[in-house]
Amino acid sequence: MVMDPIESITPYKDSSLAMLLEAQRRNAEIHYFQQRDLKLLDGKAIGRSQRLHVRDDNEDWYEFGDVEGINLGDLDVILMRKDPPFDMEYVYTTYILDRAEAAGALVVNAPQALRDMNEKAYTAWFPECTPSTLITRSMDEMRAFLVDNGRIVVKPLDGMGGKSIFVVQNGDNNANVIFETLTDFGQQYAMAQVHIPEISLGDKRILLINGDAVPYALARIPPADDNRGNLVVGAKGIGQELSDVDRSICEQVGPVLKERGVIFAGIDIIGDYMTEVNVTSPTGIRELDTQFDLNIAGQLFDAIESVLD
């Protein structure tokens, strides 16, 4: 697994740890990497691996073993679980994983898909499922979009966890500075979407495994003093069965993701609209497992093993 420092995670709600625990239950040999541990040498993808043992313990959840150099292509499966920001360092890492994939490893998710499917911008491939959305560098166009729609959500294209997401409405004197900040005065792209009032009922995270939806969503309900439905900023995660609209959106999006080599994804739905397609390091496993007595990581590894077969 390629991930952020394991010592920095919150064990009881970390989806990567859930995957590691399931891999260990299946007697897998676990190799742990951070981005700094990966390199290309004469066209070969090589990693500095630390063997890893994990425990489902909020106080003591990991133990490192031997360190060794390893050809990444010799691994059966590489789980790419590095969190955004999706910057050039992330892209360079996918190049290394491309070479590992070419040498025989199954990379979850496919490096090409990770590069192509920006979590915000890829909603443009499913306009029938999304609210009216603008991606632009132009502050004037953002202002016009605000005037046309009255209340909008604006955010950067490379963040996660609610970082730098703003709700703006007509007459807000902060609108100009928000647009200036997000676009760096017209030097970088940002996204604006029509505000969906049903955010008060939750920003629903739906997990898809090899194109098929887990039958429950995690509705992340914003706290009273915040507009954002992100657990990291205090939203409350409430599990619920998928609605007919949820299932319809999953049926449109899931097969496309599967075809592109995305084995594990999380789409976000507010009301009846999809707002993001998360393919880098989707979360929500542990909350849904707890509330509905599931083993989502087990379903994921069943899917991985079916692909390997």
Catalytic site positions: 120, 155, 205, 220, 228, 268, 276, 278
First CA to last CA distance, the chain: 20
Residue type, 166: F
256 exposed, middle or buried (CB, 10 Å; 0-12, 13-18, 19+)? middle
Helix pair angle (296-308, 15-25), 10° resolution: 60
Cβ atoms of residues 87 and 118 within 8 Å: no
**Could you give phi then psi for residue 86, rounded to 5 degrees?**
-85, 85
SS3 4: coil
Beta bridge partner(s), residue 270: 203, 273
- Separation between Cα atoms, residue 41 and residue 268, nearest integer Å: 39
- Separation between Cα atoms, residue 225 and residue 233, nearest integer Å: 10
Residue type, 172: D
- Return the CA Rg of the chain: 20
Angle at 265 between CA 262 and CA 268, to 5 degrees: 140
Residue type, 68: E
